Chains A and B, each alone.
Chain A
Amino acid sequence: MENFTPVSASIGGALIGLSAVLLMAFHGRIAGISGLFSGMVFSEAGDRLWRLFFVLGLIAAPLVYWLVAGERAPFDLQAGWPLILAGGLLVGFGTRLGSGCTSGHGVCGLARLSPRSMVSVALFMAAGMATVALIKPLIGA
């Protein structure tokens, strides 16, 4: 339980919620990042450019934080290249097949009390926890 940071976690979470509410209030859209991102290419013409602007905001955020806070946000990735590439492929394919990720199902879907999102969150949480439990001994962490 060391490194437990409930305050910054709650503030950050509230901002994520605020963003989801903004997008619903102004665009009428769900803030599901996997669908929003892939839709930059795979949605109909005319439904793409706003997605690019959202993604640009997302990419700018760590830089804005860096400027304001005066320090780079912590980023510590333990996995090696084979796991990075395999993980990326699985996250990309899996989120599209399952129609959403941590944001679309985990925040927006649960907030709507969607049964599909409840199933999705239970499964990806369980799979994530099982994966960490299994690979930790393998990579010696």
Chain B
Amino acid sequence: MARHLVALLAGLVFGLGLVISQMVNPAKVIAFLDLFGNWDPSLAFVMGAALIVTAIGYRLVWRRPRPVLAERFQVPGNRKLDARLAIGALLFGLGWGLVGLCPGPAIAAITIGGAEALGFLAAMAAGMLAFELFDRRAARRA
């Protein structure tokens, strides 16, 4: 139960960060990506602040032998730079630029963004489902 409460709290804090920084507002995100137009660099401060807190916080946390409520730290060990990483990032950036929503804001926005936010989230979930099908086919062929 404690694990789920911590997860709920972490989600709430994350979401409040998205709302206060306006990362949840597509127009704000598009203004950040509009480097060659009327550029609004605000979201660089979102990432910068998040990065500083996380980089310092992780190093303090990793001094402990294990997490408070779990067996071990699960950190991605893959170091390979492959085509999947690159193509995935490019497709994601394309979709992000078309609408101005990335996954976190897409989920948080459904309570304020009306039918359009719900439609985006449904399409995003469909894209994830499509990936799972693609990935299983690829695994069978390999």
B43: chain A residues within 8 A (beta carbon): 9
A73: chain B residues within 8 A (beta carbon): 19, 22, 24-25, 112
Minimal beta-carbon separation of A84 from chain B (angstroms): 5
Summarize B's interface: helix, strand, loop or mixed.
helix
A123: chain B residues within 8 A (beta carbon): 86, 89-90, 93
Flag if A13 contacts B17 (CB, 8 Å): yes
B130 to A, closest residue via Cβ: A93
Mark each residue of chain A from 9 to 33: 1 if its CB lies under 8 Å from any CB of chain B, else 0.
1111111111111111111111101
Flag if A93 contacts B98 (CB, 8 Å): no
A83 at the interface (CB under 8 A from B): yes
- Number of B positions contacting A (CB below 8 A): 119
Mark each residue of chain B from 89 to 116: 1 if its CB lies under 8 Å from any CB of chain A, else 0.
1111111111111111011111111001
A124 with B15, Cβ < 8 A, contacts A50-B7, A55-B107 known: no
Flag if B6 contacts A27 (CB, 8 Å): yes
Minimal beta-carbon separation of A1 from chain B (angstroms): 7
A98: chain B residues within 8 A (beta carbon): 84-89, 91-92
Flag if B33 contacts A131 (CB, 8 Å): yes
Minimal beta-carbon separation of A112 from chain B (angstroms): 7
Flag if A14 contacts B67 (CB, 8 Å): no
Flag if B101 contacts A87 (CB, 8 Å): yes
* Given A1-B38, A38-B132, A127-B91: 18 more A-B contacts, CB < 8 Å: A10-B45, A13-B17, A14-B49, A19-B10, A19-B14, A26-B3, A53-B4, A59-B11, A60-B15, A77-B26, A81-B116, A86-B95, A88-B123, A89-B126, A92-B128, A98-B86, A108-B58, A120-B85
10 sample A-B contacts, Cβ–Cβ < 8 Å, listed by A number: A1-B41, A9-B45, A15-B14, A58-B18, A76-B26, A93-B91, A111-B58, A124-B90, A132-B37, A133-B34
